[in-house]
Amino acid sequence: MSAENRLAVVIDHCWSRIGVKGDQSCSKLSEFVHCHNCPVFADAAQLFLDRPLPQGYVAESTSLREAKASRRPQESLSVVVCEVEKQLFALETKAVVEVTEPRNVHRVGHRTGRIFLGIVNIHGQLELCASLRGLLQIASASSGAAPPSQRMVLIEVTGDRWVFPVDAVHGVHRFSDDDVFGVPATTEHDESALVRKVLKWNDRRVGLLDLEKALTILGKCLQ
C-alpha cells in the first residue's frame, strides 16, 4: 500500500460525514461549534502535514532550483539615441539632464577649437559646450546649414556638465543583453575610441559612448 493510500486510511474525514460539511450529527459540535475547533480536525491536519514526500519530489525541487539559479537575469540598458553626421551614438539615460532646442554658442578666447566650442546659456546657467563631431573625429559631411532636427543634449557625470550639439535625437530606448555587443578588437585599444559597447537598433549599429573617458578628454581641452 502506498504512503498516500495509508494516509487516506488513517485520516477519517469525519467533518465531511457528520461534521459541518456533513449531516452535522457529531456530538462534539455542541462543544466545539465548528470542526476547525475540534482536536480531531487538528490531529488530521498534523497527519497531513507530516505525510511522506511523494516519490521524486526532492529531485524535482532540486532540479527546478538549479535551473533557476543557472539562468542569467535579462539586464536592460536605457539610453538616449543621438545622430551625428549620419552616425548613431547612445548616451546612458541616467547621464542625460535635458534635451533642448539649439542655443547660441559663445566662443571663449584662446580656448574655442575643434572640440571645445564655448559656452551655452541654458535656463540662465552657463554650460560648457563640446563637439561630438570633433571629439569622435568624424569628418563633416554636412552642407553647413543646421538640420531642422538639430538638438542640444545636456549631460552630467560625477558633477561635470557638458552640452553636445547633435543632428537629431531619436528618443529613449532600452536594450537587453542580446542587443549589446563588444567593441571590435581593432578599435577597443585605441585611446581615441570612445565607444564602449555596440548596440543593435532597427538594423543599425549604435555606439554607446564612454562618457567618463570623454569627459577626461574634454577636461584636458580646458587646461
Domain-by-domain residue ranges, the chain?
A: 3-70, 76-221
CATH 2.40.50.180 fits 76-221, yes or no: yes
Pairing of strands 125-130, 160-166: parallel
C-beta separation of 183 from 195 below 8 A: yes
pLDDT per residue of the chain (223 residues) written in tens, 0 to 9:
444 444 444 677 787 888 878 888 888 877 777 887 888 888 777 777 766 666 666 676 676 666 666 655 556 889 999 999 889 999 999 999 999 999 999 988 777 778 899 999 999 899 999 999 999 888 776 556 667 889 999 999 999 999 999 999 999 999 988 888 888 765 544 445 788 899 988 889 999 999 999 999 888 888 7
Pairing of strands 87-92, 204-209: parallel
pLDDT for 209: 93
What lies within 8 Å, CB to CB, of 211 at 6+ separation is: 91, 92, 95, 155, 157
Phi, psi of 102 (to 5 degrees): -60, 140
Write out the three cell numbers for 184: 571590435
C-beta separation of 84 from 139 below 8 A: no
CA 137, CA 89: separation in Å to the nearest integer? 13
Query: What is the three-class DSSP state of 169?
Result: strand
pLDDT for 7: 45
Q: Which amino acid is at 212?
A: E
